[in-house]
Structures are given as structure tokens and as C-alpha cells.
Amino acid sequence: MTGAAVVVRGLHKHYGETRAVDGLDLQVESGEVFAVLGPNGAGKTTTVEILEGHRHRDSGEVSVLGVDPARADRNWRSRIGIVLQDAGDQAELTVSEVIRHFAEYYPTPRDADEVIDAVGLTEKAGTRTRQLSGGQRRRLDVALGIVGRPELLFLDEPTTGFDPEARRAFWELIRGLRKDGTTILLTTHYLDEAENLADRVAVIRDGRVLALDTPKNLGGRAASEATVRWIEDGTHRELATSAPTRVVSELTARLAGPSGEVSGLEVIRPSLEDVYLTLIGEPLPVAATKEDLS
Amino acid sequence: MTELSEKTVAAATVALPSTLRLGVARTRVELKQFFRSKDSMIFTFLFPVIMLMIFATVFSRQGDVGPGIPGGPISFGQYFLPGMVATGVMLTSFQSLAIQIPVERDDGALKRLRGTPMPSASYFLGKVGQVLVASVVQLALLFVVARVLFAIPLPTAPGAWLTFLWVFLLGTACGSVLGVAFSSIPSSGRSASAVVVPVVLVLQFISGVYFMYSDLPTWLQRVAEVFPLKWMAQGMRSVFFPDAFKAIEVRDSWEHPMTAVVLAAWLVLGLVVGIRTFRWTRRGDN
Ligand SMILES: Nc1ncnc2c1ncn2[C@@H]1O[C@H](COP(=O)(O)OP(=O)(O)OP(=O)(O)O)[C@@H](O)[C@H]1O
Ligand SMILES: [Mg+2]
């Protein structure tokens, strides 16, 4: 299937004085992984839950799989998968019971054991969900989001509480789903997650989209200047340039001794985090992606 | 984590599972959750049995009830049984739903269900299934304990059991829809039992479940007559007492038609209110 899975135009949602969503535009193409970034309170959950049909909007146009979620029916719900930001329900059922039960709701569910395995809960299949750890509980949420074989999957901060290994495994799972044609819209506070998974990223703040691009190009990242640093005559030097390769070869010609090395050489490009923090208006910290050219 | 295998299926060609089938599936998981929760086991399911055992034991020495009435006297255990049957029906229907649903609303279970293709009707069918199965098992247990441990005679006339059937079904239906309607009152899952239990307790005390109804002051009897529990208890007395015991009722009659009218009226009221007020999400969460 091609075309847009999600189209949002001029979306508004106010809670009293709070403009949770304030004129938001978005388009998610079928088959892509789309990440929504933004500080706490930016309006990510509000937006996503409007798309899921859980919240009403004040104004704006919304189309999800060609349907207005405010008028969604069973058929539409069978085509989407939802992982909410917070849930602690079904405490008395075991992992396997919950997943098997939810699978029954869908016309063409995934195999329950495969899903349990896919989220790494095989060893916990017989455990009551109240006894799961925070990260395991979250994996169950992900399992329930994918068990119905959705065309479009919403994930609101899916990997909160995952250990690093589980996060990597989750990324693999998402890549697998993408390969099979699932459209994925996820929110996250982990920039490496967005960088690793997303085809496109939107940064939102105060209910509006500040920037929307591929992780590589976000905020003019690819075109922006790199910083070259080196040590010359015992002092640290640095130069901002849009042609770092040329600068490095000049430095090599000029400074490299018999060893062929330029001492302290670094080429620094802004990381996604730098770009993100600039966009949302935080001061730029020193951290950077290092490409050591020794 | 491994990769998921892909079956290519045209989703549109495969029908959604039927509402009834999912209602049965819901009943299964509802019952699992009900019987695995210690709270609902002790304070809802076993409560009437425990109370019957305590009362029938403690008051057995106080002598029998209604010595001058034809068919009497009856043991205190027998006197107490119909009240416990009515209480059991009310706890398993009204109390358990009025507490369970706010908890499910608060912990996100309802919101999660709302995001799936499960129809709302299946959810309510599951609740009805839970209430029916749990109360049938509960009453069966109560009858066995009454008969075996306390030698309380159970009715043998088919007419009495027919009365039992309609009072039970109407009472369960009424309690269930009122439980759903009441579930919107507690402001959170945590406060649900604090709100519901006192209501249930007061109703029990004024409806002739623990005390002889005719001993209550008249104004309190009038108050209790507004609510369904009094009528359920009276209907159950007509099942488990010899017919002549209608003499101890305030109007010298079992008042079956009135019982049916009051229970049906509450059933309709509960349906109307329940349909209008039921929410899948917490207040202010949409
Ligand atoms: N149900 C609600 N009632 C009142 N205000 C709300 C409600 N939901 C959200 N808000 C407000 O709307 C704004 C956006 O909230 P939202 O939950 O969408 O943020 P978010 O981007 O998901 O944040 P986080 O990263 O912390 O999850 C916040 O200021 C929040 O206080
Ligand atoms: Mg959020």
C-alpha cells in the first residue's frame, strides 16, 4: 500500500488554558518509521492519542488509514496497534493468557508464542503480569500492540525502562515489522533510538512541529559546518568549516611529521542531540560525534 | 527477540470475530481474574457462606423462629439463609462490578480494550457472564453448606424453585446494570471500595438481611422499600420459608408482583443511566 497512513492538518487541542496541541501538521507515509521527539509536555501523547481515537480534538483535520479516528469502527481498530504511554492493567492474568486473549479480538492475529518470543518474554510466559518488572511489563505492552498484525502501529515511549540489550532487540523487532510493511509512529526521548529506527523525525514543542526531516538532515544537520580540531605548537586550534576533508588534507600536508600523524586531530559534526537541543532552544552542550582521523 | 514470521493475508477478506464469541472469551478472562483476586474471593464470593456459618452457629441456641406459624418453627439458620442468598446476588453483581470497573478504568484496562476491535457489547457480555457463573457457583456452595452443615431444609416444590429462578435472574440483572451505572461515581480505582462497600452495608442492614425486617421502625421500612435488596430478600424468603410465614411480612404477603415491578424499574433505570454515563477513560483524560 502506498500513500499517507496518517495526515494531520491544523490540529488543535486545548485543556483550559493549556494549548496541548496548537496547530500541528504531520504526514506519515505508508511503510515508514516516523519518530516524534519533543520535551515533556510538548503534546506528543495528546497528538498520538487523538490519532488513536482515544481523545477528542478541538479542531483540525485528521485522517488515519483514510478514516477519521473520531468515527472509528471495529474494522479500523483491527488495522491499528496501540502501545499507550502508561498502563498497569490485567494484573491477575499471565503473560501468555493476556496475549492469547487479545489475539482473539483480531481477524488475522500473529501467533501468540511467536509474539511472546519476539518481545523476549518466553521465560515469563506463565508469570502473572503483576509480578513482571517494569521493563518486562513494557515488553508485554509492545506484544499486545503487535499481536493483531496491525498495518499501523502507534508506540508512545515504547522503550521506557528497557535495559540496553532489550532496547537493541526492540529495534530489531521494529526493523522486522517495517520490512514487512508495517507503518510505525513512535514517540521517544532517546535520540539514538530515533536515529537508528526512524526514516523521518518530527520535533515538536508547545504543540507545534518545529522541524521535520530525516535524522541525517534534521535542522540542516548534514549541511551544517563541522569543526576540525588539532594541536599545533602545543596549543589547541579549531576551525569551523563546511569542507572538513580539505582542511584535514591541508593540515596533513603542513603538519604531519615522519609518523604521518597530525596530533589531536578531530572532526566534529553536530549530533542529533545537538540539533535537537538547538531546535528546542536549549544551550548547546560540548558533546559531539567524534570521527577520529588518526 | 526473534523475527516474526509473516503470513500474507488480505485483512479485509477475513471477518472480525463475532460479538458473542468475544463475549464468551471475555467471560473466561473475567472469571479468571475474579477468582484469582483474594479480595473478590473473600469479600464477595465467600462472604454469604462465611456469614451464614457464623450466624447459624452463634444464634443456634437462641431457639427457633415462628413457633406459632403453620409449617414452623424454623431454625435460625433457615431464617437467615434467604437474606444471605439475596446478599450474595447483590455482592456478586452490584458490588463486584461497581468496584471492578473503576479499577479497570483507572489502571488503563478499559482504555486498552477500547483501542482493540473488541466490541463494547462483548465487554458487557463478559461482565454478565462473570456475574452469572460466579453467583451460580456461590449459591450452589451456600446451599450445600446450609444443607450439609446446618441441616437447613431446601424447598422441594417446583413452584418455589421457579420463584427462585425469576427473583435470582431479575436480581442479578438489576444488580449488574446498577453496578455498571454506579461505577462512574467513585473518582478513582483506589476509592472505589470505600465508596461502594458502605452503600452495600447500609442496604443490608435496612433491608432485613441481618434483622427481621418487621422489627425495623416503619420510616426505615419505607426507605428500604425504595431499594431492590429488600425485595430480593423478601422474594428469597418466599422461596425458603413455609408459605404460612408470609404472616411475618409487614403486609402479610410475599408481594411477588411488587417485587417484580421494583426490580424491573431499577433494571431500566440502571440501563438508562449506565448507557449514558459509562466511560472507557478516566475523567478529564480525553
Ligand atoms: N487530560 C489532560 N488534562 C489536562 N491537561 C492535559 C491533559 N493531557 C495533557 N495535558 C497537558 O497538555 C500538555 C501536553 O501533554 P502531553 O501528555 O501530550 O505531553 P507529552 O509530549 O506526551 O509529554 P511526555 O514526554 O512527558 O510524555 C501538557 O502541558 C499537559 O499538562
Ligand atoms: Mg507523553
Per residue in A232-268, pLDDT (tens digit) is 888 899 888 888 889 999 989 888 878 888 888 998 8
pLDDT for residue A272 is more than 60: yes
pLDDT for residue A120 is more than 50: yes
Rounded distance from Cα A188 to ligand 2 centre (Å): 9
Q: Average of pLDDT values for A152-161?
A: 94
Cell 441456641, residue located: B61
Q: Name the residue of chain B whose CA is nearest to A180's CA.
A: B6
Residue B4 and residue A173: Cβ atoms within 8 Å? Answer: yes
Q: Which residue has the higher pLDDT, B158 or A283?
A: B158
Q: How far apart are CA A145 and CA B140, in angstroms?
A: 40
**Which residue of A87, A102, A108 is in closest CB contact with B108?**
A87
Distance, first Cα to last Cα, chain B: 34
A6 neighbors A63 (Cβ within 8 angstroms): yes
- What lines the ligand 1 site, CB under 6 Å? A 15, 18, 20, 38, 40-46, 85; B 284-285
At A277 the pLDDT is: 87
Is ipTM over 0.85? yes
Residue B104 and residue A89: Cβ atoms within 8 Å? Answer: yes
Closest C-alpha to ligand 1, atom 2: B285
Q: Which residue has the higher pLDDT, A256 or A133?
A: A133
Domains of chain A in sequence order: 4-219 (3.40.50.300), 220-279 (no CATH)
Which uninterrupted H or E stretch holds B39? Answer: helix B38-40
**What's the pLDDT tens digit per position in A70-84?**
999 999 999 999 999
Q: How far apart are CA A9 and CA A68, in angstroms?
A: 12
**What's the pLDDT tens digit per position in A52-63?**
999 999 999 999
Q: Average of pLDDT values for A35-55?
A: 96
At A286 the pLDDT is: 46
At B69 the pLDDT is: 85
At B2 the pLDDT is: 52
E-strand stretches of chain A: 4-15, 18-29, 33-37, 59-64, 80-83, 152-156, 183-187, 200-205, 208-213, 226-232, 235-241, 266-269, 289-292
Cell of residue A258, nine digits: 615522519
A93 neighbors A128 (Cβ within 8 angstroms): yes
With beta carbons under 8 A apart, name residues in chain A contacting B96. none
- Beta-ladder partners of A203: A37, A211
Residue A107 and residue B14: Cβ atoms within 8 Å? Answer: yes
Q: Name the residue of chain B whose CA is nearest to A58's CA.
A: B286
What count of other Cβ atoms lies within 10 Å of the Cβ of residue A126? 9
Closest C-alpha to ligand 1, atom 1: B285
Q: How far apart are CA B192 and CA B101, in angstroms?
A: 9
At B1 the pLDDT is: 53
Q: How far apart are CA B224 and CA B222, in angstroms?
A: 6
A202 neighbors A36 (Cβ within 8 angstroms): yes
Query: What's the pTM?
Result: 0.88
Q: A290: pLDDT confidence band, cut at 50, 70 and 90?
A: very low
- Ligand 1 atom closest to Cα of A42? 21
Residue A146 and residue B109: Cβ atoms within 8 Å? Answer: no
**Which residue of B9, B15, B25 is in closest CB contact with A104?**
B25
Which residues of chain B register pLDDT less than 50? 9-12
Q: How far apart are CA B127 and CA B281, in angstroms?
A: 18
Residue A115 and residue B104: Cβ atoms within 8 Å? Answer: no
pLDDT for residue A199 is more than 70: yes
Q: How far apart are CA B10 and CA A171, in angstroms?
A: 27
What count of other Cβ atoms lies within 10 Å of the Cβ of residue A279? 17
Residue of A48, A52, A104, A178 to mutate, interface with B, max B Cβ within 10 Å: A104
Rounded distance from Cα A47 to ligand 2 centre (Å): 9
Q: Name the residue of chain B whose CA is nearest to A108's CA.
A: B11
Please indicate if any CB of chain A lies within 8 Å of the CB of B37.
yes
- Beta-ladder partners of B262: none
Q: Name the residue of chain B whose CA is nearest to A113's CA.
A: B4
